[in-house]
């Protein structure tokens, strides 16, 4: 008879989950015993980093990804990152060790009491198998739950004495079984949307992150071109990925994130077709009408919860890629005039220190065709989008949940999943702190990504929020003398502080061309950079 460990690792193999991220403790060691040669364990020095790396890896590989955490306190450390993974629709198997079964009722040290309740709001399913022999089935169920739409984390608590027990005699079935995740749209709903599009006088497409995740990029472009649709990206804070090439002539920019301004931007549009996004990831609260006068909205999403919670409009629930294909097969050519393309981005004047806009402009100049950005530099998010106009699928990852710490950690996972594409992780010096130990993993595992750190000596975005919220005199918004480059060096990442346009361009070129992780830090002017 096979042991729980043998069957579980066979299951992981079957799902191509041979890279495991984690931070181990005594309760996880039995799982890691006799770790098979065809598996790779990537150590994060804190659980938030381990989960963030797994999140980046899962999104960039398109595969369910396993992250193993230390019992209760490790799960606690990972919670913010699990919240982010849920917002990112990232298919994670999150496991955590648990005390020996005979110790749980007496609540021996490190017992994860209420193991399934703690993570519950942030995962699709949380479970502790009632018997050791059911561990493989529980893991298989969690992997399928994580991978079926909407993708997201699922959690299994694993008592540490289960691994050497015998697995269920019928466990081979759960190892072998598959669950096809793509369900097609109702053809009637697609025909009706096609007719609405054909009849509309001023329709618009809002492209969301799940277009990229669903592999719908080319069909979104074909749809926009055939229908001559101006295209906006869904609001940046909730858009973890880019769903449409931002250098395309039909691309009109990123929607603002608040209710009033979204509606203002869409003024005069009679049909708003939202694909692969919630409607909408709003923040901050700036009230206003939800739709422009005379406007209606249809959203396509694979997430029943997004479908249910939208405050306006109609929804077609289906795999976003299949729905786009079906719509393309149905909709005719439009005879509308095309919108003017966005003006070419300029970096503005060269200042001392540089503006974030100029820094992103320089990055755009040296950015490789096949490059990937992982972004967590809050006050210059829009500026980066505008300056780089990323135009290839799988080129952009951003923490849709808004919990800082995603960027640095996820970038490592993205680079591990996409070893042939150069990854640049753009960070604010404040954001870098939430996953700072990730620098060690990047160095220790020779992950050749690059970091660009914008140093403005403050939490700029929070000062912008303070203005909007009419908050005066809030403490804790300044970050004097926060040395990211020196800290990165201490963790083993080669780092350089530069100033000025030329030095920045040279340093970035050298770093992007290198096969080691490198960091470039640059002082920038504080304040929100919108362009
Ligand atoms: C886990 C977590 N804690 C706190 C915040 C609140 N927060 C949002 S943006 C921000 C400042 C980030 O500073 P920095 O990276 O330097 O970027 P800047 O605003 O200066 O562009 C903070 C603290 C958050 N989003 N997530």
Choose which residue among 48, 51, 431 to substitute to test ligand 1 binding: the one with the highest number of ligand atoms within 8 A of its C-beta.
431
470: CA distance to ligand 1 center in Å?
18
237 falls in which pLDDT band (50, 70, 90)?
Answer: confident
453: CA distance to ligand 1 center in Å?
14
Q: Mind listing the pLDDT tens digit for each residue in 385-444?
A: 999 999 999 999 999 999 999 999 999 999 999 999 999 999 999 999 999 999 999 999
Residues 519, 355: Cα–Cα separation, whole Å: 19
Ligand 1 — pocket residues by CB below 6 A?
Answer: 80, 377-380, 402-405, 428-431, 434, 456, 458-462
The ligand 1 atom at the shortest distance from the C-alpha of residue 526 is: 20
Q: Mind listing the pLDDT tens digit for each residue in 145-170?
A: 999 999 999 999 999 999 999 999 99
pTM: 0.98
Q: What are the distances in angstroms from CA 329 to CA 314, 326, 365?
A: 21, 5, 38
The ligand 1 atom at the shortest distance from the C-alpha of residue 356 is: 21
Percent of the chain with pLDDT over 90: 99
432: CA distance to ligand 1 center in Å?
9
Please state the three-class secondary structure of 150-169 as a single string.
CCCCEEEEEECCCCCCECCC
Cis preceding linkage at 353, omega within 30: yes
Residues 138, 105: Cα–Cα separation, whole Å: 21
Residues 177, 11: Cα–Cα separation, whole Å: 10
239 falls in which pLDDT band (50, 70, 90)?
Answer: confident
Neighbours of 108 (CB within 10 A): 11
Which residue's C-alpha comes closest to atom 17 of ligand 1? Answer: 428
Taken as a whole, the chain contains a residue count of 531
- Are 496 and 518 a contacting pair, CB within 8 Å? yes
Neighbours of 109 (CB within 10 A): 8
65: CA distance to ligand 1 center in Å?
27
Q: Order across the sheet with 203-207: list the strands.
A: 251-254, 231-233, 203-207, 271-275, 296-301, 314-317
- Are 31 and 68 a contacting pair, CB within 8 Å? yes
379: CA distance to ligand 1 center in Å?
9
The ligand 1 atom at the shortest distance from the C-alpha of residue 456 is: 20
Query: How many helices (H) and strands (E) are present in the chain, helices listed first?
Result: 21, 18
Pairing of strands 126-127, 65-69: unpaired
Choose which residue among 404, 426, 429 to substitute to test ligand 1 binding: the one with the highest number of ligand atoms within 8 A of its C-beta.
404
Does 179 have pLDDT greater than 90? Answer: yes
At CA 143, angle to CA 137 and CA 144, rounded to 5? 90
Does 238 have pLDDT greater than 90? Answer: no
Q: Mind listing the pLDDT tens digit for each residue in 4-25?
A: 999 999 999 999 999 999 999 9
181: CA distance to ligand 1 center in Å?
35
């Amino acid at each position: 008879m096979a042991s729980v460990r043998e069957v579980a690792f066979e299951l992981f193999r079957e799902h191509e989950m041979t890279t495991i991220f984690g931070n181990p403790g005594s309760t996880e060691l039995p799982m890691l015993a006799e770790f098979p040669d065809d598996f790779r364990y990537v150590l994060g020095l804190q659980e938030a980093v381990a989960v963030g790396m797994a999140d980046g890896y899962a999104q960039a590989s398109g595969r369910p990804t396993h992250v193993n955490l230390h019992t209760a306190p490790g799960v606690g450390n990972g919670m913010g990152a699990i919240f982010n993974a849920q917002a990112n629709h990232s298919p994670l198997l999150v496991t955590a060790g648990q005390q020996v079964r005979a110790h749980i009722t007496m609540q021996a040290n490190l017992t994860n009491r209420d193991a399934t309740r703690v993570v519950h709001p942030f995962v699709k399913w949380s479970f502790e198998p009632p018997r050791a022999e059911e561990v493989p089935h529980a893991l298989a169920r969690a992997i399928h739950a994580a991978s079926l739409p909407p993708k997201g984390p699922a959690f299994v608590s694993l008592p540490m004495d289960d691994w050497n027990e015998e697995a269920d005699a019928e466990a081979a079935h759960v190892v072998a079984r598959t669950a096809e995740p793509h369900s097609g749209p109702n053809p009637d709903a697609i025909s009706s949307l096609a007719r609405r599009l054909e009849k509309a006088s001023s329709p618009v497409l809002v492209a969301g992150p799940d277009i990229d995740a669903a592999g719908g990029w080319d069909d979104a472009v074909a749809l926009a071109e055939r229908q001559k649709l101006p295209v906006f990206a869904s609001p940046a804070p909730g858009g973890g990925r880019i769903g449409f090439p931002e250098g395309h002539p039909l691309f009109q920019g990123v929607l603002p994130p608040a209710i009033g301004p979204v509606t203002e931007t869409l003024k005069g549009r009679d049909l708003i077709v939202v694909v692969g996004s919630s409607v909408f990831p709003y923040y901050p609260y700036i009230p206003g009408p939800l739709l422009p006068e005379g406007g209606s909205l249809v959203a396509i999403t694979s997430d029943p919860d997004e479908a249910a919670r939208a405050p306006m409009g109609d929804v077609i629930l289906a795999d976003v890629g299949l729905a786009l294909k079906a719509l393309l097969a149905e909709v005719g050519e439009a005879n509308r005039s095309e919108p003017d393309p966005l003006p070419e981005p300029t970096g503005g004047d060269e200042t001392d220190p540089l503006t974030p806009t100029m820094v992103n402009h320089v990055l755009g100049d040296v950015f490789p065709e096949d490059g990937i950005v992982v972004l967590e530099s809050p006050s210059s998010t829009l500026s980066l989008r505008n300056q780089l106009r990323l135009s290839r699928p799988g080129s952009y990852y951003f923490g849709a949940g808004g919990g800082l710490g995603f960027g640095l950690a996820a970038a490592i996972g993205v680079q591990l999943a996409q070893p042939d594409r150069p990854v640049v992780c753009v960070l604010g010096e404040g954001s870098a702190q939430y996953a700072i130990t990730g620098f060690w993993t990047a160095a220790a595992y020779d992950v050749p990504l690059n970091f660009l750190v914008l140093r403005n000596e403050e939490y700029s975005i929070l000062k912008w929020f303070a203005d909007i919220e009419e908050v005066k005199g809030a403490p804790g918004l300044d970050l004097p003398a926060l040395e990211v480059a020196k800290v990165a060096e201490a963790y083993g990442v080669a780092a350089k502080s530069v100033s000025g346009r030329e030095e920045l361009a040279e340093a970035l070129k050298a770093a992007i061309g290198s096969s080691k992780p490198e960091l470039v830090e640059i002082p920038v002017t504080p304040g929100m950079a919108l362009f």
